[in-house]
Amino acid sequence: MKDKLNKRIYVAGHRGLVGSAIVRALRKRDNTNIVTRTHAELELTDQQQVRNFFASEQIDEVYLAAARVGGIHANNTYPAEFIHDNLMVQSNVIHEAWRAGVKKLLFLGSSCIYPRLAEQPIREEYLMSGALEPTNEPYAIAKIAGIKMCESYNRQYGTDYRSVMPTNLYGPGDNYHPENSHVIPALIRRFHEAKLSSANKVVIWGTGTPRREFLYVDDMADACVHVMGLDRSVYESHTTPMLSHINVGTGEDVTIKEVAEIIRKVVGFGGDIEFDASKPDGTPRKLMNTAKLTSLGWRPGMRLGEGIKETYACFQAEYKA
Ligand SMILES: NC(=O)C1=CN([C@@H]2O[C@H](COP(=O)(O)OP(=O)(O)OC[C@H]3O[C@@H](n4cnc5c(N)ncnc54)[C@H](OP(=O)(O)O)[C@@H]3O)[C@@H](O)[C@H]2O)C=CC1
Ligand SMILES: C[C@H]1O[C@H](OP(=O)(O)OP(=O)(O)OC[C@H]2O[C@@H](n3cnc4c(=O)[nH]c(N)nc43)[C@H](O)[C@@H]2O)[C@@H](O)[C@@H](O)C1=O
């Protein structure tokens, strides 16, 4: 078996918010044998391309951070693309990794796999105990299928394919698309542009009352590397063959109104905030119970206010109107 630092690690989605942070985290730990392909170089919805990739590269471990991802509006507008692309990407990468003999893989799901009105904080056991949030059900179904695919390959073929369920994420390298992004990058851009144009108000979608938990992406990447570094016996002591996923979060949530206020202050916008209740709120709350990951020795580091300041500084460096 190759020693830890010589393992060839494929990071699928390495240019994305999470994938780029995972590459940073691996490099920080002196992992230099990192294999990547851009979307243009490798279309992960195409099984033959994925099969050819794994046949040509001797991959030891996979971080599956490639997916069709977006905020509430994107999920609600492109449900067919979200379920199709995510089912295809994850099925191809998981199946072809197994076919090529890859022993270890980390699948990234999402907190949206849980029922819309799950008891809070949400425990891993609450999976499939109730109706999902309609605005992202197709994406959630794909993610649940990804967890179950990893579990099924582990049970039948003896693979060590693990699953982590991130809460809402933000940080450097996020998607700032005005409509399709998540709330933090969307509001950073909107407040920034309002400041530049001396607008007198910024409109926030929904009522501002939903609660969300926000984890800084470098903390998420650190959790991914931590989970992948656990001995199999340790990982399996905190999971079961048919309940194998682990929640990743901060254990604290805020209202959308509160996070909008934090962003307004960080950006330095002096105008007013208004709420457009004609836009969907989505799940009222999705705070993760992270007791399993805590007992596995991991805790987040970045506080929300500090994380938004860091993110805004990176945004300003990249921003083009
Ligand atoms: N961001 C968040 O708040 C959360 C994210 N997650 C999960 O974390 C993972 C990473 O998400 P995130 O980093 O935010 O997403 P991003 O959209 O930032 O990154 C996704 C990456 O995957 C690539 N990709 C997408 N589709 C394909 C494809 N068909 N073939 C090849 N490459 C593809 C994208 O390339 P390109 O852009 O060039 O198409 C991009 O580099 C996902 O599994 C997501 O579901 C879970 C919870 C919250
Ligand atoms: C990570 C998670 O992300 C999505 O679920 P979500 O948490 O609802 O995502 P969101 O960040 O888009 O919205 C959070 C809240 O914020 C409010 N909101 C206000 N103003 C804006 C705004 O301008 N943009 C956006 N996007 N939201 C806004 C919005 O109305 C909602 O109440 C799914 O991808 C889901 O599948 C998933 O995995």
Overall average pLDDT of the 272-298 stretch? 98
pLDDT of residue 2: 65
Mean pLDDT throughout 211-220? 98
Over residues 260-277, the mean pLDDT reads 98
Asked if residue 87 belongs to a known ligand binding site, the reply is: no
Q: Is residue 319 over pLDDT 90?
A: no
Whether ligand 1 lies within 6 angstroms of the CB of 67 is answered as yes
Report whether 273 contacts 260 (CB < 8 A).
yes
Question: What ipTM was estimated for this complex?
Answer: 0.99
Rounded to whole angstroms, the Cα distance separating 250 from 304 reads: 9
203: CB partners within 8 A, 6+ apart:
190, 274, 275, 276
Residue 173 beta carbon below 6 angstroms from any ligand 1 atom: no
pLDDT (0 to 100) of residue 230: 98
In the predicted structure, residue 135 carries a pLDDT above the cut 90: yes
- 63: part of which helix (H) or strand (E)? strand 61-64
Judging by beta carbons within 10 Å of its beta carbon (0-12, 13-18, 19+), is residue 166 exposed, middle or buried?
buried
pLDDT at 267 over 70: yes
pLDDT digits (tens, 9 = 90+) for 144-167: 999 999 999 999 999 999 999 999
Is residue 1's pLDDT more than 60?
no
| Nearest to 307, CA basis, from 176, 191, 216 | 216
204: left (phi over 0), alpha (psi -120 to 50) or beta: beta
Counting ligand 2 atoms within 8 A of each CB, the residue from 78, 182, 263 with the most, and so the one to mutate, is 182
**pLDDT digit string, tens, across residues 177-205:** 999 999 999 999 999 999 999 999 999 99
Q: CB 245: neighbour CB atoms within 10 A? A: 23
Residue 6 tokens, joined: 């010589």
Task: Give yes or no for residue 260 having a pLDDT over 80.
Answer: yes
pLDDT the model gives residue 127: 98
Query: At 320, is the pLDDT very low, low, confident or very high (cuts 50, 70, 90)?
Result: confident
**Quick one: average pLDDT of 31-51?**
97
Nearest ligand 2 atom to alpha carbon 279? 30
Cis before 121 (ω within 30): yes
**What is the CB-side half-sphere exposure of residue 215 using CA atoms within 13 A?**
29
Q: Which two tokens stand for residue 173?
A: 């390298």
SS3 136: helix
Cβ–ligand 2 contact at 279 (below 6 Å): yes
**Band of pLDDT at residue 236, cut at 50, 70 and 90:** very high
Find out if CATH 1.25.10.10 is the number for domain 7-171+214-250+286-303: no
Residues in the chain: 321
* Residue 70 beta carbon below 6 angstroms from any ligand 1 atom: no
Instruction: Check pLDDT > 80 for residue 3.
Output: no
Interval between CA 317 and ligand 2 midpoint (Å): 24
Which ligand 1 atom is at minimum distance from the Cα of 70?
A: 17
CB 191 within 8 A of CB 263: yes
- Please, what's the b/e burial string for 63-95 (b: 16 or more CB within 10 A of its CB; e: otherwise)? bbbbbbbbbbbbbbebbeebbebbbbbbbbbbb
pLDDT at 6: 82
Nearest to 89 by CA among 139, 127, 137: 139
For residue 139, pLDDT over 80 is answered with yes
Per-residue pLDDT, 321:
64
Among 108, 69, 70, smallest CA distance to 90 is for 108
Q: How far apart are CA 41 and CA 36, in angstroms?
A: 10
For residue range 102-119, list pLDDT tens digits in order.
Answer: 999 999 999 999 999 999
Confidence of residue 298 (pLDDT cuts 50, 70, 90): very high
Mean pLDDT of the chain: 97
Nearest in space to 203 (alpha carbons), one of 215, 187, 216: 187
What is the mean predicted confidence (pLDDT) over 11-37? Answer: 96
- Say if residue 75 carries a ligand binding annotation: no
Residue 114 to residue 127: CA distance in whole angstroms: 5
Q: What mean pLDDT is predicted for residues 58-69?
A: 98
Q: With residue 307 as reference, give the H or E element that holds it.
A: helix 304-318
Q: Angle formed by the axes of helices 183-196 and 304-318, to 10°?
A: 60
Exposed, middle or buried: residue 214 (CB in 10 Å: 0-12, 13-18, 19+)?
buried
User: Which is the catalytic residue, given 10, 63, 139, 153?
Assistant: 139
9 C-alpha to ligand 1 centroid (Å):
18
> Is residue 139 annotated as part of the catalytic site, yes or no?
yes
- The predicted pLDDT at position 183 comes to 98
Is there an atom of ligand 2 within 6 Å of 75 CB? yes
